[in-house]
Structures are given as C-alpha cells and as structure tokens.
C-alpha cells in the first residue's frame, strides 16, 4: 500500500515541475529574408532613382552650341545668262568663277576664255575683247542664286549689256550647228562677215563669191569657220 502511494506522489511531482518549466528560447534573426515581392519592389525603386538621377545630370549639362552654317561662297561656281554684245546681238554666256572671284572663265559661241579678275568682296570685274575694251562687272544678289551682270565696251557699237545671270546648272553655251562656228554677216556690207573668233574685231572677213555653208580659214587665227 505504501509503494503505490509513493509512486503516485513522485509522478505528481514530475508533472507539476513540467508545468512550471519556462518555454524554450528561440533566437530571432535581425535581418529576415525578404519575400520575393519585396525584393523586386526594392530593385524597381533603386532603378527608378538611378534613372531620375541620370536624367537630372543630363538636363544639368549645358547644351552644346550649334555650329553656324557656312555661307555659300559669293562668287565661286557656274553662272549662266544671256547678255547683249553690241552688233552681234544677245549671246548666251556661262561664267565659271574661282573662289574669291579672282579668276573667271567664260563659255559662249565665241569659244572658252579665262581672264584674271579683281574683286572687292561685293563685285568682281574683268576685261575682254580684242582691244580689252569690254569691262564686265559681276555683282551677286542677296539671294545667292542670281547676279547682276554688265558688259560695257568703250568702242562705238560695242557691247552694252545688262542682264541677270543664274547660279548653277550645266554651262548654257550656244553650240554651232557643227564643230565649226558660223560667221555672222555684216549689215549693209554684202559679202563680208564678222570674225567668229574675235567678236569685237572691226576687221571684217571677205567671203564674196563663197557659197553659203562653205568652210573657210580665218587668215589671222588659222581656225576654220562656216560662211553664212
């Protein structure tokens, strides 16, 4: 009887001690692993702040000044137009200038000739003609595509032209019907023609008795021309 009672007392003591024992201690980590959604949100926020910072830096950079466009060279290039050449009438010329207007080459039915020119920055001038009697003045207009051109001769009945030339294009040269130029008849002097190689020459060529279309040689230059 005593032994079972002792067993009951011991068991009751053990149960009572177990109820009084403190709960086990669980240490918590200071930096818990964030959920995947939180981690993605953080990355998105950092990326946004970085982009905003980059945009602010770009806007803070001073804008680079634009390089001014270079103005079109005033004289250089090809210009074409028709201008009066005295008794010969209007002739189509194409003028080709070197940069700065220091040299000009004219193309026409008279041939191709190059002349030194003098420029003051606004206009350029040069002389032509057998006796250097024709003074040309070339003045580009503000639009950069047209120019005022004059050709004045100091001789009677010489060139006295004033015309507008246009920039660019293929040289507008009046070509003879063949490889040889056709001479122009002298008014009121039947049988005589102007020298086609020297438009301003006052020495006429005698073609009396020569049929129209015949090829003759200019005694001075040795070049061939066609009788009108």
> How is the chain split into domains, by residue range?
77-167, 176-228
Give the pLDDT band of residue 152 (cuts 50, 70, 90).
very high
pLDDT tens digits, one per residue of 31-82: 555 555 555 555 656 555 655 555 555 555 555 656 544 445 788 889 999 9
pLDDT, position 129: 82
N-term to C-term CA, the chain = 167
Under CATH, which number does the domain 77-167 receive? 2.40.128.20
Q: Are strands 192-193 and 134-140 parallel, antiparallel or unpaired?
A: unpaired
b/e per residue 126-147 (b: at least 16 CB within 10 A) = bebbeeeebbbebebeeeeeeb
Is the pTM higher than 0.85? The answer reads no
């Amino acid at each position: 009887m005593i032994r079972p009672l002792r067993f009951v007392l011991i068991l009751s003591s053990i149960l009572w001690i177990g109820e009084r024992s403190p709960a086990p201690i669980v240490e918590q980590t200071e930096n818990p692993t964030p959920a995947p959604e939180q981690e993605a949100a953080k990355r998105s926020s950092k990326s946004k702040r970085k982009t905003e910072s980059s945009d602010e830096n770009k806007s803070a950079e001073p804008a680079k000044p634009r390089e001014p466009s270079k103005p079109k060279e005033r004289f250089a290039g090809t210009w074409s137009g028709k201008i009066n050449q005295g008794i010969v009438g209007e002739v189509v010329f194409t003028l080709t200038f070197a940069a700065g207007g220091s040299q000009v080459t004219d193309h026409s039915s008279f041939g191709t000739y190059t002349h030194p020119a003098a420029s003051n920055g606004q206009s350029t001038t040069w002389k032509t003609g057998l006796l250097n009697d024709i003074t040309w003045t070339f003045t580009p207009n503000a639009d950069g595509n047209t120019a005022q051109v004059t050709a004045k001769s100091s001789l009677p009945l010489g060139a006295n032209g004033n015309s507008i030339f246009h920039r660019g294009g293929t040289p507008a040269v009046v070509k003879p019907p063949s490889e040889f130029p056709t001479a122009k008849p002298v008014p009121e002097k039947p049988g005589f023609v102007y020298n086609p190689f020297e438009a301003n020459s006052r020495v006429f060529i005698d073609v009396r008795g020569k049929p129209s279309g015949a090829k003759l040689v200019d005694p001075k230059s040795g070049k061939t021309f066609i009788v009108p």
